[in-house]
Structure 1
Amino acid sequence: MIRLPLMIATLFALLVIEIGPTRADELLSLDQLRAARKEAARRERRIIFNNDGNEPIYLCRDTTPEGLLSHRTTPLADTHVDTIFYCTWSSGFGMFTHDTKVGHVFKTKEDLFSKNMIDKMLAAGTDPLKVMADFGKQNDIEIFWSFRMNDTHDAGLSGYGPVMLRANPLKLEHPDWLIGTPKQRPKFGGWSAVDYGRPEIRELAIQYVEEVCQNYDVNGIELDFFRHPVFFKRAAQSGTPCTEEERTLMTEMVRRIRKVTEEEGQKRGSPILLTVRVPDSVPYGRDSGLDIETWLSEGLIDMMTVSGYYRLSPWEDSVALGNKYDVPVYPSLDESRVRDPAAKKARMTVEAYRGRALAARSAGMAGLNLFNSFNPHAAIWRELGDSELIAKKDHDYFASIRGVGSAAGGALPHRGYQKVATLNPKAPLKLSGKDPATVSFYTGVDYQKLDTTESPEIKLLLQFDQEVPKGVRAELNGTKLEPSTAEEGWLACAVDPAQLKRNKNEVTVALLDKDASVKWTDLRCTVRWNDAP
């Protein structure tokens, strides 16, 4: 079934071919383009597959398009993936794996990158971004070019950091365009980040986008501001929030990028969408230099992905912001990076991803954006786009998937902006007989209204820093729970499906012994169906 936005774009393209005007914008006015863009933004995107595009660097063994696609892309056909965000390296700033003339191609074969095939692939006519765009058209999957605005993997002083830096002519030739040096590091952020206070950097960012819009038939551009969220030298070196002047510089750059997408969209006769990945907190974004609400209010962006390796706000906050400006919002479901191995493993299961998907969609998210999940054969690509399906499969909820979280290379400290639970073994809550603690977790199903003759078995599991303590009182949404058994060090409480609320649930734990004290280390809610896969 052909989706409506795709039909609109196709009709415009056919008219251009049939009528053959000398200028496409004689056919497609700016108002028409914007109307088509609004429709395209509303296209169903059950799952966005975010591919960091490093197959040519690490995985490809030949120069063929088929070889490139085989690693992460071909198996996605006929799954729930409706959109692919494809990053052509951009690690660090100015380095790409598409055929750029404005930036530099990442051709180094030094050390970890000894199997880098990109120079041979481009010489053979296999441009990864063109290959992806062609695949998308053949399989009715949108392709967005993803541009990491300030990737700082090259800030490391060992491993691949120095190798990546040596491969980057821009940073080597213009060290004054960076926010620091290896010996004079900023108070936050990777020292190799570029300074968007420099007009040269902002101009280059615009030119990189313009080159892709002119040369590649992509459906949209993603500006990934979460990889990594440090942008201004003054702020990073002083350790202070960004100023209005710095936010204005960044907003003006986004305005110019929007203008580029509109001008090139008029030329091609179909819209080029613009989306961003940003922190899920307007105040934190502002203090990082990103005036997200101004971008939304001015119509500069069509879609928005929120969050990353740390999460600051309930999903509902971001959904409400998007709804205010009629912009679809997607959650970035990054992999867990809590530091306790067992806790991390539990959060990386298919059951945990089902629970995350259910909670995000129930909060009003337009779809799902999965970051750093690259196995195209995994069950998640064939399940997570259907909430009714996974509601009747085993799934897990946690108070926190990402814990306190951190950005690689560092960023503006975010703990003061964090409004969601961070409970995990590395961020426990202290409990005493005098001081109970309350934690919220979010579900995505009204289990009483499911179209099924059976009810799932639901358990609330509580973990502490010692053997299950005696005299624990647990309440779920104000109702006392009766502890049943200890399961592998967890205190298990049976939950009637009617006790769970859809979306936010509160758990309060107290100790009956006034002199006792323990640390509450984790919370997990398991939903199990008989014979469910």
Structure 2
Amino acid sequence: MTDRYPNQPIIFTDDAWIMSEDPPITPEIIWEKMIRPFEGMPASLWWAVGDHEVYHHETEIGEIIGDGYDLSELSDFERRKALNFRHLTETTSGPLTVISSLCREAGIEFLPRFRMNSHYAYYAPPYTDNVRPGFGRYRQENPHLLIGRPGENIPEDTIDWDIRTGKDYAYPEVRDYAYSMITEMFERFDVDGVEMDFNRHPGVFRREEAHQNRYLMTDLVRRVRKRLDEVGAERGRHLKLAVRVAPTLANAARMGLDVPKWMTDGLVDTVIAGVGWIPFEMPIAEFVEEARGTGCAVYGCLEGLRPLVDESALRAASYRYWEAGADGIYLYNYFTLPPTWIRRTIPELADPARLKTMSKRYEADHADRIQYGGHGGAFRNAVPAAQMPITLIETSTGRGPVVNIDVADDVEAARAEGKLGRCTLGVSIEHFAPDDKVDVLLNGDLLAWGTGRESYMPGGRKWPTLEGEVGLHYDIDSPPLRKGVNKIEIRRRPAADDVGNQPVVTNVEITITYQDA
């Protein structure tokens, strides 16, 4: 059996923002605002059906947003979703039916997305004593099926605290519930498969049991695969199973996800690597290598947060994935951007040959973008440490920290062909004393201090917000700049009257441009 549509180079995800638009929404509004921008684009459209066991599609199994509540009990966000769901089910067959039908008419591959867990802090104020409706009844009625045990004393501001209200898939009741919800979406609706999203939010077992419980999650994935094949055989076409997992194979395994086995046993058609937060350091090549010869496609996830809202950084991260052998790019949380952005940017990101000579900005990834609280601990559980920020402390040997930036562009070849334009290295530092200096080396070559010390961040992207915040920028060439990992060493030379000031490197980036680009 074959797929209805071939794999597209871009998977564009949508967290169902259309359902929270001012009611009432209609099929015409859905078409114009949500579907039409993708018509003729090299992209698939995948749509989230709910969160926290509360859904906004026509399920016969799960809890539907607003059911059993007076509208006055709902937040504005929840009220709009509830009203739109009710209007669509009263005037049409329902939102999932409408959206899948519109995508089919437009020739767009469409998959519903099932969040395997959610760790949003719905107990936070003002809901400390009165859990809000969006939390859902499932967890309220089944506290014995959650990761945190009833009455268990868990320290706050820890990973275990932040994932305590999530479902624990060690329990067969939880796996059976997920199986029923997932299979209903392709049994009842004319879709092209289904995604099991393990990154919204990471953490499906107790941490101390997760690695040992890999076989339990594999059993669930195998059950879903079997049912997909049965339904696909009835319809005469292949139905796709996609999974989104942690940014490294080791982290996925530690969390109970045996991704290599899913690939080699033919259980999954598509693996999406990462949450999108460490796009310049995520080892996507290990996923590509693991998938080799299995027929499983590998996509790299990018999320619409800084730095990836800047198109030069987005191009760099995408090109890095393409050059590592990925089959495509998975765009998460870009659904808020306008149709003009979609129609301009998707064709660029989908075409590595086009990206090859477009300007790009590569950066060192940040560890300080993940905080504890709410679902922050869940992401800390899945995302490995990154390089930024770095506190510059004087060393006894005079050496400094080395920052690695992986550049996918073949800058040596571009230089030889006369196509390489201006390239720069930027270093952003906070708490930098007026007389402080640093030595910056690129792949062992010392860069001249006099090439640039500015009072703003490289590229003019951000004006200083802290006293002593500076941006250093250096014009660089190839060599020493090269394709692959570039090593930037930053050696602090403190002022003579230094009284213990500790500068902090907050960003390191390499910008590459091309002639006539």
Task: Please say whether Structure 1 and Structure 2 have the same fold, judged by a TM-score greater than 0.5.
Answer: yes
Q: What residue identity is the alignment partner of 1:316?
A: A
Q: How does 1:109-128 map to 2 (within 5 A)?
A: 109=71, 110-112=74-76, 113-116=78-81, 117-128=84-95
Q: What residue identity is the alignment partner of 1:111?
A: S
Distance between the aligned counterparts of 1:156 and 1:444, measured in 2?
44
- Identify the residue that residue 442 of structure 1 maps to in structure 2: 406
2:243 aligned to 251, 276, 282, which one?
A: 276
2:348 aligned to 383, 403, 408, which one?
A: 383
1:519 has 2:500 as partner: no
Offset at residue 289 of structure 1 (A): 1.7
1:355 has 2:340 as partner: no
Distance between the aligned counterparts of 1:435 and 1:377, measured in 2?
48
| Cα distance change, pair 529–293 in 1 and its aligned pair in 2 (3 A) | closer
- Identify the residue that residue 16 of structure 1 maps to in structure 2: none
Q: Deviation digits for residues 86-118 of structure 1, max 9, x if unmatched? A: 1112x112x222211121221364123222211
- Identify the residue that residue 187 of structure 2 maps to in structure 1: 214
Q: What residue identity is the alignment partner of 1:521?
A: T
Offset at residue 270 of structure 1 (A): 0.4
Q: What residue identity is the alignment partner of 2:202?
A: P
Offset at residue 395 of structure 1 (A): 2.2
1:69 aligned to 10, 15, 31, which one?
A: 31
- Identify the residue that residue 333 of structure 1 maps to in structure 2: 302
Offset at residue 393 of structure 1 (A): 3.2
1:98 aligned to 50, 57, 61, which one?
A: 57
| Cα distance change, pair 260–60 in 1 and its aligned pair in 2 (3 A) | farther
> What number of residue pairs does the alignment pair up?
473
Q: Deviation digits for residues 253-301 of structure 1, max 9, x if unmatched? A: 1110111101111111101110100002222222212122221221111
| Cα distance change, pair 326–503 in 1 and its aligned pair in 2 (3 A) | farther
Helix, strand or coil: the match of 2:488? strand
- Identify the residue that residue 482 of structure 1 maps to in structure 2: 448
Q: Is the contact made by 1:97 and 1:106 (CA closer than 8 Å) also made in structure 2?
A: yes
Q: What residue identity is the alignment partner of 2:482?
A: K
Offset at residue 445 of structure 1 (A): 1.5
Q: Deviation digits for residues 506-527 of structure 1, max 9, x if unmatched? A: 2112235698764322101122
Offset at residue 60 of structure 1 (A): 4.7
2:201 aligned to 228, 242, 249, which one?
A: 228
2:284 aligned to 296, 312, 315, which one?
A: 315
- Identify the residue that residue 425 of structure 2 maps to in structure 1: 460
- Identify the residue that residue 231 of structure 2 maps to in structure 1: 264
| Cα distance change, pair 46–402 in 1 and its aligned pair in 2 (3 A) | farther
Distance between the aligned counterparts of 1:416 and 1:149, measured in 2?
14
CA-based RMSD = 3.0
Q: Deviation digits for residues 67-98 of structure 1, max 9, x if unmatched? A: 12333332122334x21111112x112x2222
2:66 aligned to 81, 89, 107, which one?
A: 107
- Identify the residue that residue 330 of structure 2 maps to in structure 1: 369
Distance between the aligned counterparts of 2:273 and 2:403, measured in 1?
22
Distance between the aligned counterparts of 2:346 and 2:428, measured in 1?
31
Q: Is the contact made by 2:315 and 2:349 (CA closer than 8 Å) also made in structure 1?
A: yes
Helix, strand or coil: the match of 2:420? coil
Q: Deviation digits for residues 400-453 of structure 1, max 9, x if unmatched? A: 16656368524568589836x431xxx324342534111111222113435975
Helix, strand or coil: the match of 2:118? coil
Distance between the aligned counterparts of 1:191 and 1:415, measured in 2?
13
Distance between the aligned counterparts of 1:531 and 1:313, measured in 2?
31
1:509 has 2:490 as partner: yes
Offset at residue 503 of structure 1 (A): 3.2
Helix, strand or coil: the match of 1:332? strand
Structure 2: stretches of 5+ with no match in the other structure? 155-159, 457-469
Offset at residue 252 of structure 1 (A): 0.8
Distance between the aligned counterparts of 2:29 and 2:10, measured in 1?
24
Q: Is the contact made by 2:244 and 2:272 (CA closer than 8 Å) also made in structure 1?
A: yes
Q: How does 1:119-198 map to 2 (within 5 A)?
A: 119-153=86-120, 155-158=122-125, 164-165=132-133, 168-180=136-148, 184=152, 186=154, 187-198=160-171
Helix, strand or coil: the match of 1:153? coil
| Cα distance change, pair 383–358 in 1 and its aligned pair in 2 (3 A) | same
Helix, strand or coil: the match of 1:527? strand
Distance between the aligned counterparts of 1:377 and 1:497, measured in 2?
35
| Cα distance change, pair 61–149 in 1 and its aligned pair in 2 (3 A) | same
Q: Deviation digits for residues 136-192 of structure 1, max 9, x if unmatched? A: 222322111110011233634236896654662322332322233797575244333
**Identical columns (%):** 23
Q: What residue identity is the alignment partner of 1:174?
A: N
Q: Is the contact made by 1:155 and 1:190 (CA closer than 8 Å) also made in structure 2?
A: no
Helix, strand or coil: the match of 1:255? helix
Q: Is the contact made by 2:302 and 2:308 (CA closer than 8 Å) also made in structure 1?
A: no
Distance between the aligned counterparts of 1:469 and 1:299, measured in 2?
61
Distance between the aligned counterparts of 1:118 and 1:435, measured in 2?
61
Q: What residue identity is the alignment partner of 1:271?
A: H
Q: Deviation digits for residues 221-264 of structure 1, max 9, x if unmatched? A: 110001111222xx25xxx25252x2222111111011110111
| Cα distance change, pair 490–68 in 1 and its aligned pair in 2 (3 A) | same
Bigger drift between 193-202 and 394-403 goes to 394-403
Helix, strand or coil: the match of 1:145? strand
Structure 1: stretches of 5+ with no match in the other structure? 1-32, 337-343
